[in-house]
Amino acid sequence: MMGILQTAATKSPWIVHFDCGSCNGCDIEILACLTPLYDVERFGVLNVGNPKHADILVVSGTANYRNARVLRNVYDQMPWPKAVVAVGACASTGGIFRNCYNTLGGVDKVIPVDVYVPGCAAKPEAIMEGVLQAVQVLEKRKETGETYAG
């Protein structure tokens, strides 16, 4: 039974998108990936609203004190194996907002990140590439039997 689930996770990864403190630029590009021109659904990728359904967490924007708790909560609710994609300069390092008083920096200050997608705003092509790399991370985790490190 576990085998089927894990094969499904890599052949048809479901993503959940969480916007931390993004300017919307990356968010609309993530949404644009789902729409007819880019259409990630041809790779079996489906955007879901429930973190318990999801294999890959796509995060955009900087972490701040208030949304860090929500981000951690969403991440913790996802079942193992899971992977995290940080989309855009803000999610990777804090970007232009790095030194603002209300930002913690990149989302890797809060949760472990597997794939960083550069760009401000990241292009849909780059986001798709990032998600596909995250699928490989999932595959590797499945093969090696790596367990959840928290």
Partner 1 sequence: MLDNEKIIELQDLKKETLLLKNQGYRYITMSCVDLGDSFDLIYHFDKAYEIYNMRFSVAKGTIVPSLSDVYFCAMLTENELKDLFGLEFSGLVLDCGGNLLITDEVGAAPMTKQYVVKAKESE
Partner 2 sequence: MAKKTILPFGPQHPVLPEPIQLQLVMEDEIVVEAIPAIGYVHRGLEKLTETKAIAENIFVVERICGICSFMHALCYCQGIESLMNITVPDRSRFLRVIWGELHRLHSHHLWLGLLADAFGFESLFMQCWRNREMVMDIMEMTAGSRVIISTNALGGVRRDIDSDQQKFILNSLNKLQEELDNIKRVFSDDYTVNKRLVDVAVISKEDAHELGAVGPVMRASGLSFDYRTTGYAAYNELDFEPIVEQSGDCYARMMVRLRECYQSIDIIRQAFAKLPEGPIASPVKGFPSGEIATRVEQPRGEVLYYIKANGTNHLDRLRVRTPTFANIPALLKMVKGLTLADIPIAILSIDPCISCTER
**Of 49, 99, 145, 147, the one binding partner 1 by CB under 8 A:** 99
Cis preceding-peptide flag for 121 (omega within 30 of 0): yes
CB of residue 21 to partner 1, shortest distance in Å = 12
Which of 128, 126, 92 has its CA nearest to residue 110?
A: 92
Output DSSP code: residue 99. T
Report the phi/psi class of residue 143: left, alpha or beta, with left for phi > 0 and alpha for psi in -120 to 50: alpha
Q: Would you count residue 101 as binding partner 2 (CB under 8 A)?
A: yes
Place of tokens 């907002």: 97
29 binds partner 2 (CB under 8 A): yes
* Structure token pair of residue 87: 């989309």
Binding of partner 2 by 116 (CB under 8 A): no
In the list 24, 136, 143, 148, the residue contacting partner 2 (rule: CB under 8 A) is 24
Which of partner 1, partner 2, none sits in contact with 118, Cβ below 5 to 8 A by type?
Answer: none
Q: Which window, 52-60, 72-80, 101-109, 128-136, contacts partner 1 (CB under 8 A)?
A: 101-109
Is 103 one of the binding residues for partner 2 (CB under 8 A)?
Answer: yes
Q: Provide the CA 134 distance to its chain's centre, in angstroms.
A: 8
SS3 of 85, please? strand
Residue 90 CA to residue 141 CA, distance in Å, equals 27
Is 66 near partner 1 (CB under 8 A)?
yes
The reply to whether 73 sits near partner 1 by the rule CB under 8 A is: no
> Where do contacts with partner 2 occur on this chain (CB under 8 A)?
17-29, 31-32, 35-37, 48-51, 61-62, 64, 66-67, 70, 74, 96-97, 99-103, 120-121, 123-124
